[in-house]
A and B are shown apart, each in its own frame.
Chain A
Amino acid sequence: MVTIGTTKIEPTKIICIGTNYMDHIEETKLDVPKEPVLFPKTPNCLILDKNPIIYPKWLYNDRKYNRVDYEVELAFIIKDKCKYVKKDDANEHILGYTVFNDVTARKMQVKDIISKLPWFRSKSLDTFGPIGPIIKEVNKIKDPHNLKIELSVNGEIKQSSNTSYLLFKVPELLEYITKFFTMEPGDIVATGTPSGIGPVQPGDIIEATIEKIGTLTNKVILEGGEN
Chain B
Amino acid sequence: MKIGRSNINPTKIICLGRNYLDHIKETNAPIPTEPVFFVKTLNTLITDNKPIIYPKLLYENQAFNKVDHEVELAFIIFQTCKNISSRFAYDYIQGYTIFLDITARKMQISDRNIKLPWYRSKNFDTFGPIGPEIIPCIDIDDPHNLNIQLKVNGTLRQKSNTKHMLFKIPEILEYISKYVTLKRGDIIATGTPSGIGSIIPGDVIEASIEKIGTIIHQVLLEED
Contact = CB atoms under 8 A, between A and B. Distances in A.
Interface of A: 12-13, 15, 18, 37-40, 42-45, 56, 58, 83, 113-114, 116-121, 124-126, 179-184
Contact of A113 (B41, B57, B115, B123): B115
A3 to B, nearest CB: 17
Interface stretch (B87-95, B173-181, B205-213): B173-181
Given A39-B117, A44-B183, A116 B112 contact: yes
A18 B114 CA distance: 13
Interface residues of B, number: 31
Interface stretch (B31-39, B164-172, B188-196): B31-39
Interface in B1-32: 11-12, 14, 17
A13 B42 contact: yes
B163 interface: no
Nearest to A126: B181
Counting from the closest, the 10 A-B pairs by CB-CB distance are A118-B38, A39-B117, A13-B41, A119-B117, A42-B12, A118-B118, A44-B181, A182-B43, A40-B39, A12-B42
Given A118-B117, A121-B179, A124-B179, A181 B123 contact: yes
Contacts of B43: 12-13, 181-184
Contact of A125 (B41, B55, B179): B179
A38 B39 CA distance: 12
Nearest to B36: A117
Given A58-B178, A182-B125, A116 B113 contact: yes
Contacts of B184: none
Contacts of B116: 18, 37
9 contacts: A18-B116, A37-B117, A42-B180, A44-B182, A117-B17, A118-B39, A119-B118, A120-B14, A124-B39
Contacts of A83: 125
Interface of B: 11-12, 14, 17, 36-39, 41-43, 55, 57, 82, 112-113, 115-120, 123-125, 178-183
B39 A42 contact: yes
A18 B181 contact: no
B113 A180 contact: no
**Residue from A12, A18, A121 with most neighbouring chain B CB atoms (10 Å):** A121
A38 B117 contact: yes
A39 B117 CA distance: 6
**Residue from B36, B117, B183 with most neighbouring chain A CB atoms (10 Å):** B117
A121 B37 CA distance: 8
A18 B181 CA distance: 24
Contact of A118 (B37, B41, B178): B37
Contacts of A37: 116-117
A117 B12 CA distance: 19
Given A40-B41, A44-B11, A116-B113, A180 B120 contact: yes
Nearest to B115: A113
A120 B176 CA distance: 11
Contacts of B179: 121, 124-126
A12 to B, nearest CB: 5
A38 B112 contact: no
Nearest to A114: B115
Contacts of B17: 117-118
B12 A180 contact: no
Given A40-B39, A44-B11, A126-B181, 19 more contacts: A12-B11, A12-B43, A37-B117, A39-B117, A42-B11, A42-B12, A42-B39, A44-B181, A45-B180, A118-B37, A119-B117, A119-B119, A120-B37, A120-B38, A120-B39, A126-B82, A180-B120, A180-B123, A183-B43
A15 B119 CA distance: 10
Contact of B180 (A114, A117, A118, A125): A125
A108 B138 CA distance: 37
Contacts of A179: 57
A37 B114 CA distance: 11
**Residue from B11, B43, B112, B179 with most neighbouring chain A CB atoms (10 Å):** B179
